[in-house]
Amino acid sequence: MNRNEKFIEEINQGYASKGASILLGGAILDKTPLADAHVKIPLKTLNRHGLIAGATGTGKTKTIQVLSEQLSSFGIPVLMMDIKGDFSGIAKEGEEKSFITERHQKINIPYQTASFPVELLSLSEQSGVRLRATISEFGPVLFSRILDLNDTQTGVVAIIFKYCDDNKMPLLDLKDFKKVINYINEEGKEEITESYGKISTSTTGIILRKIIELEQQGGELFFGEMSFDINDLMRIDENGKGYVNILRLTDIQDKPKLFSTFMLSLLAEVYQQMPEKGDAEQPELVIFIDEAHLIFKEASKTLLEQIETIVKLIRSKGIGIYFITQNPMDVPSGILAQLGLKIQHALRAFTAKDRQEIKQTADNYPTSEFYNTSEVLTSLGIGEALVTALNEKGIPTPLAATMLRAPMSRMDVLTESEIQEINNKSKLVKKYSENIDRESAYEMLNKKIADIEAENNKKEAEQQESKQARTTQRQGPSTTEVVGKSVLKVLTSTTFIRGAFGILSKILKK
């Protein structure tokens, strides 16, 4: 057996799969793509997470497109965090150009065009399905985290949540939260001190400032109703294709804190909503996080530990998470160690640091008698990548420099009118477009304050009267009693909903 034959046998055995699999492309040996050595990823191991890395323009986004298309075809829904806004083309059929035909001939994969069902999601005012959550659902732990509070400040936030909980006051949006802070600083000061202890105004002052900062980052668009139901990510269309849900995050690039907290909350929500799956034949949902370095940038040690924990736990729910980033060193080692699939596009060696990192990256791959890994890492062409996956038994597959197949759908973005067309047809856009502002802490406290004032006025008037009548002064009820009564009056009409985001505090306290 010559070297070529030996390599082909290694790839074909290493990537053999009994169950269904995703066909990525053809293996490359000595810079030549081969027609009879296909690189395939078993669906069964997709909940083991992965990394797609490589310098800008090397083909990462197209690789996600290739993966998403086949997932969708298998009826597996996808959630793509699209930071650059260059993923929407998957909704339309591609066009067979000569460079695609050539590529597919080399790797011996027939080319066909196809389009896939898409929902466009948005965290901001961009058109699409509005993704929102209430502050109550976020819970005190995550909400404090997003505000970057210290322990003392977090303690005060916990009291505020408790107070609202005890009084059945929903905290829906930032307006609610600010109102409660104002209330406990002023009218409600005695009431709070009596039941929950003294709260320093300098601490609430800091919290208030941080909330205003968050508002400036666009937080007020995210917090509120109606909250997004995770089950809406799991849809299959009438042809049995999984929906590709594209969350357009073009405006969040400069807000890493918002992004990382949002990601963590979303993962926690998905974790909580999904039933335990055990060892399934295919994943329930695959999540791609583009520009993943943004989550890890500026993230505290605790936040990183929490992401690590949730990534570990979510596997058993049949959810696969794929981090996409330029440099694999962007991903913390604790998370890197949990990733089963690695698709490494070309890295560029400009500086001594680059060369050092390439060497380190190469050392993290299984050894191969066919490749000098660090040399391959710098010489891969566009749309080529070094791949290692897990086979169905969970054993790492041999290293395969791979020429990837081309996407079946459009490699360019949708036009504005195509985007509109998708949104106009979407049931979800309608479902989530309503701006509900139901009675919550803001309105309830306003009413309560008005009640206190009315009560005080009445009392004053009565006192005046009785003073005049009898000239003996009578003691009125204490403010706390008055507040207590009006609380009862106001609060019997609303229901307080503690949402799923609260689960985080439970998981993460462990």
Applying CB under 6 A, the residues found at the interface with ligand ADP are 54, 56-62, 66, 103, 382-383, 404, 406, 411
In 10 A of CB 251, how many CB atoms?
A: 17
> At its nearest, how many Å lie between Mg ion and the CB of residue 448?
51
In the complex, least distance from residue 62 CB atom to ligand ADP, rounded to whole angstroms: 3
Give one word for 137, left, alpha or beta, with left for phi > 0 and alpha for psi -120 to 50.
alpha
* Per-position x/- string for 46-75, each x denoting binding to Mg ion as judged by CB under 5 A, each - no binding: --------------xx--------------
Residue closer to ligand ADP (CB basis): 60 or 317: 60
**Residue 411 interacts with, from ligand ADP, Mg ion, none (CB under 5-8 Å by kind):** ligand ADP
**129-141 b/e with 16+ CB inside 10 Å = b?**
bbbbbbbbbbbbb
Closest residue to Mg ion, judged by C-beta, is 61
224 backbone φψ class: left, alpha, beta (φ>0; ψ -120 to 50): left
**Which of Mg ion, ligand ADP, none does residue 57 bind (CB under 5 to 8 Å by kind)?**
ligand ADP
Cα–Cα distance measured from residue 396 to residue 15, given in angstroms and rounded to the nearest whole number = 10
**Cβ neighbours of residue 320 under 8 Å, at least 6 residues apart?**
46, 47, 48, 49, 50, 283, 285, 286, 287
- Whole-angstrom Cα distance, residue 263 to residue 226? 18
Question: Which of the listed partners (Mg ion, ligand ADP, none) does 56 bind, with a CB threshold of 5 to 8 Å by partner kind?
Answer: ligand ADP
DSSP state of 315: G
> Which lies closer to Mg ion via its Cβ, residue 61 or residue 265?
61
326, 53 in Cβ contact below 8 A? yes
For the chain, what is the radius of gyration of the CA atoms? Answer: 28
Q: Which does 391 bind (CB under 5 to 8 A by kind): ligand ADP, Mg ion, none?
A: none
For the bound state, the minimum distance from the C-beta of residue 239 to ligand ADP, rounded and expressed in Å, comes to: 24
Number of residues forming the site for Mg ion (CB under 5 A): 2
**Could you count the other beta carbons within 10 Å of the beta carbon of residue 79?**
25
404 binding partner (options Mg ion, ligand ADP, none; Cβ < 5 to 8 Å by kind): ligand ADP
- Could you say which of Mg ion, ligand ADP, none residue 504 binds, taking C-beta under 5 to 8 angstroms by partner kind? none
CB of 120 to Mg ion, least distance (A): 18
Q: Which is nearer to Mg ion, 184 or 324 (CB)?
A: 324
Beta strand pairing call for 384-388 and 32-42: unpaired
Beta-sheet pairing, 21-29 with 244-248: unpaired
Q: Tell me whether residue 54 or residue 128 sits nearer to ligand ADP (CB atom).
A: 54
**Closest approach of Mg ion to the CB of residue 57, in Å:** 8
* CB neighbour burial string for 408-431, b if at least 16 within 10 angstroms, e if fewer: bbbbebbeeeebeebbeebebbee
CB under 5 to 8 A by kind: which of ligand ADP, Mg ion, none does 382 bind? ligand ADP
First to last CA, the chain: 55
For residues 89 and 73, give the distance between their C-alpha atoms in angstroms, rounded to a whole number. 16
**Which is closer to ligand ADP, CB of 103 or CB of 257?**
103
| The three-state (H, E, C) secondary structure of 268-288, written as one string | HHHHHHCCCCCCCCCCCEEEE
- C-alpha dist (Å) from residue 225 to 119, 259, 322, 324, 424: 19, 19, 29, 30, 21
58 binds, among ligand ADP, Mg ion, none (CB under 5 to 8 A by kind): ligand ADP
Partner whose footprint covers residue 28, from Mg ion, ligand ADP, none (CB < 5 to 8 Å by kind): none
Q: In whole angstroms, how close is the CB of 345 to Mg ion at the nearest point?
A: 10
Q: Given the complex with Mg ion, which of 60 and 405 has the nearer CB atom?
A: 60
Question: What is the closest distance, in whole angstroms, from the C-beta atom of residue 285 to ligand ADP in the complex?
Answer: 22
410 binds, among ligand ADP, Mg ion, none (CB under 5 to 8 A by kind): none
Residue 29 CB, nearest approach to ligand ADP (Å): 19
Burial bucket for residue 381 (CB in 10 Å: 0-12, 13-18, 19+): middle
Q: How far is the CB of 214 from Mg ion (least distance, A)?
A: 28
User: Least distance in Å: CB of 193 to ligand ADP?
Assistant: 56
DSSP 41-86: EEGGGGGG-EEEE-STTSSHHHHHHHHHHHHHHTT--EEEEESSS-
Task: Select 348 or 355, whichever has its Cβ closest to ligand ADP.
Answer: 348
Q: Which does 248 bind (CB under 5 to 8 A by kind): Mg ion, ligand ADP, none?
A: none
Kindly write out the interface string for residues 203-242 of this chain, putting x where it contacts Mg ion by CB under 5 A and - elsewhere.
----------------------------------------
Q: Which is nearer to ligand ADP, 60 or 241 (CB)?
A: 60
Residue 83 Cβ vs Mg ion, minimum distance, rounded to whole Å: 9
**Considering beta carbons, is residue 52 or 79 the nearer one to ligand ADP?**
52
What is the signed CA dihedral for 76, 80, 85, 87, rounded to 10 degrees?
A: -30
- Closer Cβ to ligand ADP, 319 or 343, answer by number: 343
Burial class of residue 349 in the structure, from the number of CB atoms within 10 Å of its CB (0-12 exposed, 13-18 middle, 19+ buried) = middle
Which residue, 181 or 380, has its beta carbon nearer to ligand ADP? 380
The answer to whether the beta carbons of residues 268 and 310 sit under 8 Å apart is yes
Task: Enumerate binding residues for Mg ion (CB under 5 A).
Answer: 60-61
